[in-house]
Structure 1
Amino acid sequence: MLIIDSPSTNAYFNIASEEYLLGRFPTEDIFLLYVNAPSIIVGKFQNTLAEINLDYVQEKEIKVVRRMSGGGAVYHDLGNLNFSFHTLLADLDFGDFSQFTQPVLALLNHLGVPAVLEGRNDLLVDGKKFSGNAKLAKNGKMIQHGTILLNSEMEVLGDALKANPLKFIDKATKSNRARVTNLIHYLPEDTTTEQLKNLLTDEIIRNNPIAQRYELTPEDIRGIEKLMAEKYETWDWNFGFSPNYSFQKAIKVPAGFIEMHLDVVHGIIEKAKIFGDFFASKPIEELEGLLIGQKHEVATLEELFSEIDLTEFFGKVTLEEVIEAFK
C-alpha cells in the first residue's frame, strides 16, 4: 500500500488527484489523505445548483467541485480531514463500507470516542454524524472516500449547503441533511487536523506493516494540474454535468411580480417561460427566445442582459433585480 499525503489544500487539485491516481497506479492499493480549503464537494449525480446557497458560496469564494462518486454534497474546510482508499475491485462487496471505515473507528475508539458505523455509509457519535462516505468503481479499481469533521465551521457548513428545495424539480440525488457534529467535542480541544492525519496514518501502518509513504513527483503534480484544468475546474463538469431539471422562482420588484420557469438540460436552458404582472413595451417572448441555449449561470446571464434594455420587457428594473429570478 502507498500512503500519500496531498501537498495541496486546493479542492480542485485534491478531487482531481483521486482520478489521476487511478491511472497512475492501476494495481496498487493507495491510502490518500488531504485537507481542503473551504469548498463544497457534490456527488456525481447531483444537481449542483439545487444543493448550494449560490449567493453565499460566491460571496465567500467557496469552491464547488463535483467528485466521481455518488452520494450527497459535503462541505470541506481546514477543520475537516479527508481520507481515500484505492484498491482492486476484485471480489469486494461494493455495498460494504465497513472494511475501509474500520481503521477510522478503531483509532477513534482507542482515543475514547464512541464512534460507530450506522446505516449505509455514515460514521456517528452519540447519534450525530461526523463522517460521510462514498464509493466508485472505475478501471477495475474501487475508491472509497470519506470525511472526518474535526473542527469544521458548522455555521458556514449550514449556510453554504442551504438551498430552497422549492426552486428545483429534478430527479437528481438530494443530500440528506443529517445532524452533524465535530469530533473536537470528544477529543482534546487543541487537536489539529494535522495531528489527526498523523494518528490515522499510524493506524494504517499498524494494519499494513509493508505500507510505504509516497510523495507526489513533479510529473504527478503536472498530471493532476492538467486534469484539474481540463475537467475539475470547469463549469461543464461542476455545473453543466447536472441532471435535467426544471427551475421555478418568483420575485417581487418595484416594477411588479416576475415568475421564471426554465427547463434545463445539462446546464443549458432549453425552454423558458416568464410570467408576471409587469408592463412590457416588447413581447416577453423575445426575451424567452434569447434565453434558449444559454448556460443557467449568473455570469453568462449577466453578460447577456448587459446587452439588452431590460426595461423594454419588465418596465423600470435593474439587471441585478432580474438576475435574482434566475438564482
Structure 2
Amino acid sequence: MLLIDSPSHNAYFNIASEEYLLNQFPTEDIFLLYVNSPSIIVGKFQNTLAEINLDYVQEKDIKVVRRMSGGGAVYHDLGNLNFSFHTLLGQNDFGDFSFFTKPVLDMLNNLGVPAELKGRNDLLVEGKKFSGNAKLARQGKMIQHGTILLNSEMEVLGDALKVNPLKFVDKAIKSNRARVTNLIHYLPKDTSTEHLKNLLTEEIIKNNPDAVRYEFSEDDLRGIQQLMTDKYETWEWNYGFSPQYNFKKAIKVPAGFIEIHLEVVHGIIEKAKIFGDFFASKPIELLEEHLIGQKHETTALKTVLESLDLTEFFGKVTVEEILEGFK
C-alpha cells in the first residue's frame, strides 16, 4: 500500500489527484490524505447550482468541484480531513462501507470518541454526522473516500450549502442535510487536522505493515496539473455536467414583477420564458431568443444582458437587477 499525504490545499488539485492516481497506479492499493481550503465538492450526478448558495460561494471565493463518485455535496475547509482508499475491485464488497471506515472508527474509539457507522455510509457521534463517505468503481479499481469534520466552520458550511429548493425542478441526486458536528467537541481543544492525519496514518500502518510512504514526483505534479486544467477547473465539468433541470425565479424590481423560467440541459439554456407585470416597448420574446444557447452562468448571461438595451423590455432597470433573476 502507498501512503500519500497531499502537499496541496487546492481542492481542484486534490480531487484531480484521485483520478490521476487511479490511472497511474492501476493495481496498487493507495491511502491518500488531503485537506482542502474552503470548497464545495459535489457528487458526480448532482445539479451543482441546486446544491450551492451561488452568491455566497462567489462572494467568499469558495471553490466548487465535481468529484468522480456519486452521493451528496459536502463542504471542505482547513478544519476538515479527507481520506481516500484505492483498492482493486472485487477485493471488498462494493456496497459495504464498513471495511474502509473501520480504521477511522478504531482511531477515534481509541481516543474515547463514541463514533459509529450508521446507515449505509455515514459516521456519527451521539446521533450527529461528522463523516460522509462515497464510492466509485472504475477501470478495475474501487475508490472509497470520506470526510472527517474536526473543526470546520459550521456557519460557513450552512450558508454555502443553503439553496432555495423552489428554484430547481430536476431528477438529480439531492444531498441529505443531516445534523452535523465537529469532533473537536470530543477531543482535546488543541487537536489539529495534522495531528488527526498522523494518528490515522499510524492506524493504517498498524493494519498494513508493508505500507510505504510515497511523495508526488515532478511528473506526478505535472500530470495532476494537466488534469486540473483540462477537467477539474472547467465550467463544463463542475457546472455543465449537471443533469437536465428546470429553473425558475421571481424578482421584484422598480419596473415591476419579473418571473424567469429556464429549461437547461448540461448547463446550456434550451428554452426561456419571462413573465411579469412590467411594460415592454419591444417583444419580450426577443430577449428570450438571446438567452437560448447561453450557459446558465452569471458571467455569460451578464455579457448577453449588457449587449442589449434592457429598458426596451423592462423599463428602468439595471443589468445587475435583471441578472439576479437568473441566480
Q: TM-score, normalised by structure 2?
A: 1.00
User: How far did residue 93 of structure 1 move?
Assistant: 1.3
Query: In the TM superposition, what whole-angstrom CA distance separates every residue of 1:89-113 from its partner, at most 9, and x where no partner exists?
Result: 0252111000000000000000000
Q: Which amino acid is the alignment partner of residue 184 of structure 1?
A: I
Give the structure 2 partner of residue 117 of structure 1: 117
User: How far did residue 88 of structure 1 move?
Assistant: 0.2
**3-state SS, counterpart of residue 216 of structure 1:** coil
Matches within 5 A, 1:87-126: 87-126=87-126
Residues of 2 paired with 1:80 and 1:254: CA distance?
44
Structure 2 unmatched runs, 5+: none
Query: In the TM superposition, what whole-angstrom CA distance separates every residue of 1:203-250 from its partner, at most 9, and x where no partner exists?
Result: 000000000000000100000000000000000000000000000100
Residues of 2 paired with 1:49 and 1:311: CA distance?
28
Work out whether 1:251 is the aligned partner of 2:246: no
User: How far did residue 160 of structure 1 move?
Assistant: 0.1
Q: Which amino acid is the alignment partner of residue 230 of structure 2?
A: E
**3-state SS, counterpart of residue 7 of structure 2:** coil
Matches within 5 A, 1:45-124: 45-124=45-124
Q: Which amino acid is the alignment partner of residue 170 of structure 1?
A: D
Q: Which amino acid is the alignment partner of residue 251 of structure 1?
A: I
Residues of 1 paired with 2:138 and 2:92: CA distance?
14
Structure 1 unmatched runs, 5+: none
Give the structure 2 partner of residue 314 of structure 1: 314
Give the structure 2 partner of residue 161 of structure 1: 161
- Please identify runs of 4+ aligned residues in structure 1 that moved more than 4 A: none
Work out whether 1:228 is the aligned partner of 2:228: yes
**3-state SS, counterpart of residue 78 of structure 1:** coil
Give the structure 1 partner of residue 12 of structure 2: 12
**3-state SS, counterpart of residue 185 of structure 1:** helix
User: How far did residue 7 of structure 1 move?
Assistant: 0.2
Residues of 2 paired with 1:251 and 1:22: CA distance?
46
Give the structure 2 partner of residue 240 of structure 1: 240
Give the structure 1 partner of residue 23 of structure 2: 23
Residues of 2 paired with 1:310 and 1:234: CA distance?
30
Residues of 2 paired with 1:253 and 1:212: CA distance?
62
Query: In the TM superposition, what whole-angstrom CA distance separates every residue of 1:122-176 from its partner, at most 9, and x where no partner exists?
Result: 0000000000000000000000000000000000000000000000000000100
Q: Which amino acid is the alignment partner of residue 13 of structure 1?
A: F
- Pairwise CA RMSD of aligned residues? 0.4
Residues of 1 paired with 2:8 and 2:53: CA distance?
25
Q: Which amino acid is the alignment partner of residue 119 of structure 2?
A: G
Q: Provide the aligned length of Structure 1 versus Structure 2.
A: 327
Residues of 2 paired with 1:15 and 1:94: CA distance?
21
Residues of 2 paired with 1:209 and 1:92: CA distance?
19
Residues of 1 paired with 2:206 and 2:291: CA distance?
58
User: How far did residue 279 of structure 1 move?
Assistant: 0.5
**3-state SS, counterpart of residue 96 of structure 1:** coil
Query: In the TM superposition, what whole-angstrom CA distance separates every residue of 1:297-327 from its partner, at most 9, and x where no partner exists?
Result: 0010011111111111111000010001000
**3-state SS, counterpart of residue 178 of structure 1:** coil
Q: Percent of aligned positions with the same letter in both sequences?
A: 81
